[in-house]
Structure 1
Amino acid sequence: MENSDLWYNCRFDNFTGTWLCASSKETEWIQAVQVLMVLSVVFSSVSFLVFLGQLFTMSKGGLFYFTGLCQVFAGLMAFSAALIYTLHNKEILPSSKELTSGHFGYCFILAWIYYASEEYGLDSTVTCDGYFFMADVFAKQGKMSITRSLYSAVAHTWHCHLTELLHTHVQFFQNPDELLEPSYDKGRRAEGDEMLRTMLEFEQDNSRKEPAQIALVAHCLAMLWFLEGDNLKALGFGGTALQASQLIPNRDLTEAIRGLLQLVQSLQTGPPPGSG
């Protein structure tokens, strides 16, 4: 729930049950609207006080000229403020409302998961966006076990998706006569990078680190940046993944990470496979 006026923006925090308010950012147009509205209130107040005085002092048959004049000025001030606010709302609203600091509501996240799973399936990276947002909700509530469970589901889905893309990418590399089509769009790459980095930082900053999750997420990031063509980042995340994987009994993941690192290093030191 949000409540905004010309001076303050307030948002109701469901977790604490309190209103969080901040001053509106000052711009030339918002200042003009504020001044005009203050003048409107001043003229209205003066008009009311003068009207009360004239009720007892004015002679019979007299007219309220000054009172009416103040009311006219008050109306003009309010009309001008409304006109400026209407014509320049694009300049006023982005500055007065912190739209980027908002967050998705719970119902929106549940609806996202439902419709994405209906359209793309439960194992889709699009559906994983909903899992990721839901994990953020539980993280704010301090329910770390649920957060980790959701992050784990997101990481496994992205790992399977990127493994398939990597396999296709290598096949095209080995067959240069084939046309190498883009594996994914830039938007999905950016979203995936942001989610995976957030999950990796969550695990690395946690006092109870899980090497398996760190290795899985770092391997995802290494594959993601390899597909993007940034071998340095791929090597960096791959090294993190390899170091964490040596602390877990899952040797398949370790071998996959080593294979990716060898592939990246071979591309840096020699021609791509199949180019000869």
Structure 2
Amino acid sequence: MSIIKRNNINVSGEGQKPMIFAHGFGCDQNMWRFVAPEFERDHKVILFDHVGAGRSDLGAYDQKKYATLEGYADDVVEICEALNVENGIFVGHSVSAMIGALASIKSPKHFEKLVLVCPSPCYLNDGDYQGGFSRQQLEELLEFLDENHMGWSAQMAPLIMGNADRPELSEELENSFCRTDPDIARAFARATFLSDNRADLASVRPACLVLQCKEDVIAGQQVGKYVKEHIPDAHLALIDAYGHCPNLSAPDEVIKAMRDFV
């Protein structure tokens, strides 16, 4: 199968340095529309959809493969190989931050730098580690999604997006959630919220920028600090943004922080 078709890959830009953008749960590459074009002048910009999202080939979805983030990381490596990416810059939002970290461990030659936007290696509170959710909260969240995909989307989108004074942002996120196949959404949610990649952080070798919002109910400041402290070469940037999707709510802040890093 063509990897280009499978992941709906789109390449643009005038530069030679590859910059790969990966979207978060329930989203697609369109979520980068305010950020990615700003790098087309001096980079080769690569956008794609995870299998099961956007305009990816739904026929390529394999429940066993995508039951963990490793399957998505394998896809990222295959995308890099298909496009001859070496020493590229990977920009991953939310769950894709960890997907990119795993891909860099699998195949270091493809990645020179990682930009981790609102990352979380583990969403579960565990002893001194505060991921943001108790076990019961995670189970209730996933149970709610199992029972009522549309209701879950309507309730969670405003919480995830934040920025209550800009309801059009949460509406866009809700619509994106609702467009996702419910069965795939449920499986990806489990792969996301039940993942624990804390032990993998020490093996991440590229230089990393951890982009942290001031307030984020999904991945709070304590999580960003943890990621920064456990990746060998990482810098933490606290940006003037609220919610879990600064690529939509505060793209200028994201662009500036990325420019300073790359």
Question: With structure 1 as the length reference, what TM-score do the two structures score?
Answer: 0.25
- Higher helix share goes to which structure? 1
Rg bigger for which structure? 1
TM-score, structure 2 as length reference:
0.26
Structure with more contact order per residue of length (Cα contacts < 8 Å, sep ≥ 6) = 2
